[in-house]
Amino acid sequence: MNENVRIELPEAGKESHLRSGGPAISVRDLDKSYDDNHVLDHLSFDLERGKVYVIMGPSGCGKSTLLRQLIGAELPDGGEVLIDGVNIHANSRKRRDEARRKFGVLFQSSALLNGLTIGENVSLPVQRHTDLPQSTIDLMVKLKLELVGMGGAIDKYPYEVSGGMKKRAGLARAIALDPAIVFYDEPSAGLDPVMIGVIDKLIKDLTSKLGITSVVITHEMPSMFRIADEVLMLFKGRIVFRGSPEALRNSNDPLVRQFLKGDPEGPINAPRQLSELSERLIGSRAMGGDA
């Protein structure tokens, strides 16, 4: 549907696509505690370009904390995060900005401003980070909204559209500056199964068609099996599994088995959280939840 749209990619877009040749994301010895709660325990991993990575693990295992360190929203106690080779926690503000321009984030809440139209919301990062003329910005916004199937909603306000449409608008904003990487925090939260399918397909398409690296935090097992090239399972601050969805399915690791089955008995020792989790994952509450 966009065959007839011809648009010169602005410098900003080109810049954010600069490729160092190394991994899209490189995490080295990342460590984070809140008081005596050791949430991230010296994590190290690399994520390659152009793949969908799903990060999962029981509630409270540190997924959102990891995301905050990856996007530079919080300072770790130790270690480093390289985004396309650039340290997101660099001392120099210029370097940090350079790293930040390489990714977009779709927050759980979609985080749209209610006083602005959908189109204005999507244009915000472009206004802020480029000196492009308004006519070019309008074209970029339109293109991005069309990519997520929201071309018709450009003049609507966030409170006038459904949760799924808000998510898609948030996604259009996350990719407004043609990022090399997109982070998603629980993109399916609060959506019905059909809309979850729509978002999953968008994540897949953006990754394969635009060559974006997608890092998705999710609890949705069906989603994970649909979208993941690789799964990283986080538990007690460490990565306890990394591999394909198929390998996850076939794993004999008691931790993985328990997580997949939502079994209240096993190495994950949090009956109540687990039973809530299993309800979300398999649609029935595991026995043995204590509340």
Cα 34-36-42 angle, rounded to 5 deg: 70
Length of the chain: 291
Q: Is 64 in the site for Mg ion (CB under 5 A)?
A: yes
Tokens of 15: 């810049």
State which residue, 33 or 64, has the beta carbon closest to Mg ion.
Answer: 64
Residues 6+ positions from 200 with CB-CB distance below 8 Å: 188, 223, 226, 227
Token pair 């503000």: residue = 93
158 contact choice in Mg ion, ligand ADP, none (CB below 5 to 8 Å, kind-dependent): none
State which residue, 38 or 226, has the beta carbon closest to ligand ADP.
Answer: 38
State which residue, 121 or 258, has the beta carbon closest to ligand ADP.
Answer: 258
Residues 6+ positions from 93 with CB-CB distance below 8 Å: none
Stretch that binds Mg ion, among 29-37, 62-70, 129-137, 259-267 (CB under 5 A): 62-70
Least distance to ligand ADP from the beta carbon of 232, Å? 12
d(CA 25, CA 46): 6
Least distance to ligand ADP from the beta carbon of 277, Å? 10
Q: What single-letter DSSP state applies at residue 7?
A: -
Site residues for ligand ADP, 37-96, by CB under 6 A, read: 37, 39, 57, 59-65
Q: Is 33 in the site for ligand ADP (CB under 6 A)?
A: no
E strand residue ranges, 61-195: 78-83, 86-87, 103-106, 181-185
Number of residues forming the site for ligand ADP (CB under 6 A): 11
Q: What x/- string results for residues 140 through 179 when contact with Mg ion is judged by CB under 5 A?
A: ----------------------------------------
State which residue, 69 or 251, has the beta carbon closest to ligand ADP.
Answer: 69
Least distance to Mg ion from the beta carbon of 156, Å? 29
d(CA 226, CA 241): 18
Q: Is 208 in the site for ligand ADP (CB under 6 A)?
A: no
d(CA 256, CA 260): 6
Computed over its alpha carbons, how large is the radius of gyration of the chain?
19
State which residue, 169 or 268, has the beta carbon closest to ligand ADP.
Answer: 268
Residue pair 57/40 in contact by the 8 Å Cβ criterion: no
What is the contact surface with Mg ion in residues (CB under 5 A)?
63-64
What is the contact surface with ligand ADP in residues (CB under 6 A)?
34, 37, 39, 57, 59-65
